[in-house]
Structure 1
Amino acid sequence: MIRDPPVKKILYWCPNCNLPLINKSCSCGSESISIQLQKPFELRPALSADVTLIKELLLEKYGQVPVPKIILLNKYGGDDRAELVIINGVKFGWLLFDPVERKHRLDIAVDGIPYIIGHADKGIIDIDADTDYTKDKGRIGGKRVNLKNPYENGTYIVKFRKKYGTGIVRDGTIKVKELVSVEPLPPALNPDWKEAIAKNKNHLKNLEHTAIKTIKKHMKDRPTVNVSFSGGKDSTAILHLAKKAGIKDAFFIDTGLEFPETINFVKSCGVEIIQKGGDFWKGVERAGPPAKDNRWCCKLLKLNPLKVYLSGIGSCVTIQGNRWYESWNRADLGETSQNPANPLQLNVSPIRSWRAFEVFLYLWWQNKKINPLYDMGLERIGCYLCPSMLESEYETMRVLHPDYTKKWDDFLESWSDKKGYPPEYKDWGLWRWKALPPKMREICKERGIAINHDYTLKTGPAREKNIDSDFSKNTGSNEILENSSKTIKKEDKKPENIFQNKEFSADSDLNYDILKIRDDFSILGDVIYLDNAATGFSPQQVIDAMVDFEHNYRSNVGRGVHSLTQIASQKYWHAHEKVSRFIGGEKGVTVFTKNTTEAINMVAMGLSWKPGDRVITTVLEHHSNLLPWRALSKYGVEVDVIGIDSSYMPNLKELEEKITPFTRLVAVTHASNVLGVVTPVKEISEICHKHGVKLLVDGAQSVPHIPVNVAEIGCDYFVFSGHKMLGPTGTGVLWMKEADIEPLFLGGGMVESVTADGFTPETGYRKYEAGTSNIAGGIGLGAAVDYLTKIGMENIFEYEETLTKRLIDGLSEIQGVQLYVNPNPKKRIGVVSFTVEGINSHEIAQMLDETSDIMLRSGKHCCHPLMDFLGLKDGTVRASIGLYNTMHEIDLLIASVEEIVR
Structure 2
Amino acid sequence: MPATTKYSSEMREPAVKKILYWCDNCNVPLIGRTCACGARSREIPLLQPHDVRPALAADMALIRSLLAAQFGDIPLPGVVLLNKTGGTDRADLVIVHGDRFGWLTFDPVTRQFSLDIAPEALPYILPHATRGIVDLEAERAVNAHKGRIGGKRFPLSTPVPDGTVIVSYKNRFGTGVVKDGQVRVKELVPVEPRTRPDPGWDVVIGKNRYHLKNLERNAVRTIRKHMNDRPCVNVSFSGGKDSTAALHLARKAGVEKAFFIDTGIELPETVEFVASQGVEIIRKGGDFFQAVEKAGPPGKDLRWCCKLLKLHPLKIYLSSIGPCVTIQGNRWYESWNRADLDETSQNPANPLQLNVSPIRNWRALEVFLYLWWRKAPINPLYEKGLERIGCYLCPAALESEYEGLRKMHPELTERWDGFLERWAKKTGMPDAYHQWGLWRWRALPPKMRELCRDQGIPLNDDFTLQAAPVKELIEVAEMETARSCEPASPAGKEFSAEEIRRDFPILGDIIYLDNAATSFSPEPVVEALVEFEHRYRANVGRGIHRLTQIATQRYWHAHEKVARFIGGEAGVTIFTKNTTEAINMVAQGLSWKPGDRVVTTVLEHHSNLLPWRALGKQGVSLDVIGIDADYSLDLAALEETLERGGVRLVAVTHASNVLGVTTPVEEIAGMCQKHGALLLVDAAQSLPHMPVDVSRLGCDFLCFSGHKVFGPTGTGVLWMREAILEPSVLGGGMVESVTAEEFVPAEGYQRYEAGTPNVGGGIALGVAVDYLSTIGMERIHQYEERLTARLIEGLSRIEGVRVYASRRAGSRIGVVSFTIDGLHPQEVAHLLDEEADILVRSGHHCCQPLMEHLGLPNGTVRASLAAYTTEQEIDLLLAAVSEISRGR
* TM-score normalised per structure 2: 0.95
**What are the superposed Cα offsets for residues 536-587 of structure 1, whole Å, 9 maximum, x if unpaired?**
1222333344444445544433334455444433332232222222222222
2:625 and 2:201 map into 1 onto residues whose CA distance is 84
SS in 2 for 1:615: strand
Mapped pair 1:203 → 2:194: no
Write the distance in 2 (CA, Å) between the matches of 1:582 and 1:139: 90
2:192 paired residue number: 183
Preserved contact between residue 727 and residue 784 of structure 1 (Cα < 8 Å): yes
Q: Distance in 2 between matches of 1:441 and 1:776?
A: 46
2:484·2:524 contact (CA, 8 Å) conserved in 1? Answer: no
1:350 counterpart residue number? 358
Find the counterpart in structure 1 of residue 147 from structure 2: 138
Q: Which residue of 2 aligns with 1:604?
A: 587
Task: Name the structure 1 match of 2:573.
Answer: 590
Alignment of 1:786-801 (within 5 A): 786-801=770-785
> C-alpha separation between the residues in 2 aligned to 1:227 and 1:285?
33
| Residue in 1 that maps onto 2:759 | 775
- Distance of 1:466 and 1:165 partners within structure 2: 58
Equivalent of 1:169 in 138, 157, 178 = 178
Shift of 1:188: 1.3
Structure 1 distance, partners of 2:589, 2:517, is: 27
Per-residue Cα deviation, 1:218-276 (whole angstroms, up to 9, x for no partner): 11111111111111111111111111112111111110101111111111111111111
Root mean square deviation, CA, Å: 2.2
Q: 1:61 to 1:262 in 2, by over 3 A?
A: same
CA gap 1:424/1:705 in 2 versus in 1, 3 angstroms: same
Q: 1:2 to 1:190 in 2, by over 3 A?
A: farther
**How many Å apart are 1:693 and its aligned residue?**
2.3
Choose the corresponding residue for 1:388, options 396, 403, 407. Answer: 396
Match of 2:735 among 723, 727, 751: 751
Contact 1:414 1:467 in 2 (8 A): no
In 2: Cα distance, 1:652 partner to 1:136 partner: 110
Distance 1:434 1:376 in 2: 30
- What is the CA–CA distance in structure 1 between the aligned matches of 2:436 and 2:140, rounded to whole Å? 35
- Partner Cα distance (2:202, 2:827) in 1: 59
Structure 1 match to 2:68: 59
Amino acid at match of 1:332: D
Aligned equivalents of 2:343, 2:501: Cα separation in 1: 43
**3-state SS of paired residue (2:624):** strand
Structure 1 residue 78 corresponds to structure 2 residue 87: yes
- Does 1:655 pair with 2:646? no
Deviations 1:589-641 (A, max 9, x none): 11111110110111111122234433222222111112222233333433332
Distance between the aligned counterparts of 2:630 and 2:44, measured in 1?
A: 77
2:252 pairs with 1:244: yes
Matched, 1:831 2:839: no
Contact 1:2 1:40 in 2 (8 A): no
Amino acid at match of 1:264: E
Using the size of structure 1 for normalisation, the TM-score is 0.93
Structure 2 counterpart of 1:678, from 652, 662, 668 = 662
Q: Equivalent pairs: percent with the same residue? A: 64
| Cα contact 1:731–1:781 (8 A) shared by 2 | yes
The 8 Å contact of residues 571 and 722 in structure 2, kept in 1 or not, is answered as yes
Deviations along 1:183-215, one digit per CA (max 9) or x if unpaired, are 222x21111101111111111111111111111
Q: Which amino acid aligns with 1:359?
A: V
Do the aligned partners of 2:494 and 2:779 also contact (CA within 8 Å) in 1? no
Distance 1:465 1:539, change over 3 A: closer
Which residue of structure 1 aligns with residue 6 of structure 2?
none
Kindly provide the amino acid, as one letter, of the partner of residue 863 in structure 1: C
- 1:120 is matched with which residue? 129
Unaligned runs of 5+ in 1: 479-496, 502-509
Supply the distance in 2 between the matched residues of 1:737 and 1:757 (Cα, whole angstroms): 31
Match of 1:706 in 2: 690
Whole-Å separation in 2 of the counterparts to 1:820 and 1:793: 25
Contact in 2 for aligned 1:841/1:859 (Cα 8 Å): yes
SS of 1:523's equivalent in the other structure is helix
Q: Secondary structure at the match of 2:189?
A: strand
Cα gap change, 1:332/1:471 in structure 2, threshold over 3 Å: closer, same or farther? Answer: farther
Whole-angstrom distance in 2 between the partners of 1:63 and 1:471? 52
Q: Which amino acid aligns with 1:26?
A: C
> 1:28 is matched with which residue?
37
Q: Secondary structure at the match of 1:282?
A: helix
User: What SS class does the counterpart of residue 359 from structure 1 fall into?
Assistant: helix
Match of 1:194 in 2: 202
CA distance in 1, matches of 2:618, 2:386: 79
Letter in 2 for 1:174: V
> 1:500 is matched with which residue: 491, 507, 510?
491
Q: What's 1:764 paired with?
A: 748
Deviation per residue, 1:444-494 (Å, 9 max, x gap): 0111111111111110023566996349999xxx9xxxxxxxxxxxxxxxx
Compute the displacement of 1:150 (Å).
Answer: 4.0
Q: Aligned letter for 2:490? A: F
> How far did residue 786 of structure 1 move?
1.9
1:607-626 correspondence to structure 2 within 5 Å: 607-626=590-609
Distance in 2 separating the partners of 1:524 and 1:162: 70
1:695-718 CA distances to partner (integer Å, 9 max, x unpaired)? 211110011112212232222211
Q: 1: distance between equivalents of 2:337 and 2:478?
A: 38
Q: Tell me how far 1:662 sits from its aligned partner.
A: 4.3
Q: Distance in 1 between matches of 2:350 and 2:538?
A: 56
Which residue identity lines up with residue 581 of structure 2 in the other structure?
Answer: E
- Taking the aligned partners of 2:359 and 2:602, their CA distance within structure 1 comes to 62
Relative to structure 1, the CA distance from residue 889 to residue 527 in structure 2 (aligned partners, 3 Å threshold; closer, same or farther) is same
Task: Describe the SS at the equivalent of 2:519.
Answer: coil
Distance 1:465 1:652, change over 3 A: closer
> Is 1:885 aligned with 2:876?
no
Structure 1 position 442 matched with structure 2 position 450: yes
Q: Residue 295 of structure 2 contacts residue 508 of structure 2 at CA under 8 Å; is this kept in 1? A: no
SS of 2:467's partner is coil
Distance 2:158 2:845 in 1: 81
2:222 matched residue in structure 1: 214
The correspondence of residues 81-120 of structure 1 with structure 2, limited to 5 A, is 81-120=90-129
Moved over 6 A (4+): 471-474
Whether 1:327 aligns to 2:340 is no
Indicate yes or no: 2:7 matched with 1:16. Answer: no
Distance change in 2, residues 1:218/1:125 (3 Å): same
CA positional deviation for 1:396: 0.8
Q: Is the 8 A contact 2:514 2:841 kept in 1?
A: yes
- Once the 2 structures are TM-superposed, how far is the Cα of residue 763 of structure 1 from its aligned partner? 1.3
1:138-192, Cα deviation, whole Å (9 max, x unpaired): 332333333333444444332232322233434333333323232222x211111
Q: Which residue of 2 aligns with 1:488?
A: none
Q: CA, structure 1 residues 729+347, in 2 after alignment: closer, same or farther (shift >3 Å)? A: same
Tell me what 2:792 maps to.
808
Q: Among 480, 486, 508, which residue is 1:469 paired with? A: 480
495, 498, 511: which one aligns with 1:528:
511
Paired residues of 2:660 and 2:814 also in contact (CA < 8 A): yes
Corresponding residue of 2:467: 459
2:5 aligns with none
How many residues were matched structurally? 871
Distance 1:320 1:776 in 2: 55
The unaligned stretches of length 5 or more in structure 2 are 1-10
Contact 2:815/2:865 (8 A) holds in 1: yes
CA shift for structure 1 position 650: 2.6
Aligned 8 A contact 2:396 2:440 in 1:
yes
**Secondary structure, aligned partner of 2:574:** strand
Please say if residues 411 and 471 of structure 1, whose CA atoms lie closer than 8 Å, have aligned partners that are also in contact. no
Shift, 1:767, TM fit: 0.7
Q: Report the Cα offset of residue 879 of structure 1.
A: 0.5
Contact persistence 1:2–1:331 (CA under 8 A): no
Comparing 882-891 with 614-623, greater Cα deviation is found at 614-623
